[in-house]
Amino acid sequence: MSDAASKWVQGEAMNAAVSLLCDAANSKDGCATPKRFGTLGSYFATPGASEKELLMPSARATLRRMTERCPAWRFLLFPVHIVNHWTLVFFDRQKNAAWELDSLYTGKLTRPAQLAVEYIRRHVAGASDCSFATADVPQQPNYVDCGVYVMMFARHLCQVGETFTGRVRRGDIGEVGQACRSSIARLLRRALELYAS
């Protein structure tokens, strides 16, 4: 992967940008309490870890702290990093349902996303069961745009919220052109500036 492409998959930038999108969606709701959107970030172990290590102990502690501060989020968005690929998980606590949005769909849910949703189901939502499926989403035409697609999916989900039914059409997110890349680059820069201060 080229240096330019790798900039799209840095965890710190991805987490900060998804968090910024959630904050923006919540601010549109005004002073509504509880806030509807939250993110848990991509707190996952490096590829090659055993399944027990896939959610690292430090990640579990971080997840606990984050969810204790804001236990009533309806929607949770969290990016999942698998080797050199990003996907996005969208969890609706009211419907007790989750979807993985994968722009390089392989026909099955990724194992890190399955484990993350299981953790969220047990320790955050406190639910006895949860539906989890792959969403029907536009596919990237190459092997470097997964981060761009995750940002586009997250932006769309923060707009539609409870009306999401597991499908994103190309018209919902637009084309991945230079204007889109520039917009996402600005979002990432702003997110890093805000969350670094």
Q: What CATH number is given to the structural domain containing 93?
A: 3.40.395.10
Q: How many domains does the chain have?
A: 1
Q: Which residue range(s) make up the domain with 65?
A: 3-196
What is the C-alpha separation between 90 and 73, in angstroms, rounded?
12
Q: Calculate mean pLDDT across residues 160-165.
A: 90
The tens digit of pLDDT for each residue in 51-93 reads 555 556 666 666 666 666 555 678 989 888 877 888 999 999 8
Mean pLDDT of the chain, nearest integer = 78
H-assigned helices in the chain:
3-6, 11-28, 51-54, 57-69, 111-120, 146-160, 170-173, 178-196
What is the C-alpha separation between 18 and 36, in angstroms, rounded?
14
> pTM for the whole thing?
0.82
Task: Please list, residue by residue across 137-168, b when 16 or more beta carbons sit within 10 angstroms of its beta carbon and e when fewer do.
Answer: bbebeeebbbbbbbbbbbbbbbeeeeebeeeb
What percent of the chain has pLDDT above 70?
A: 73
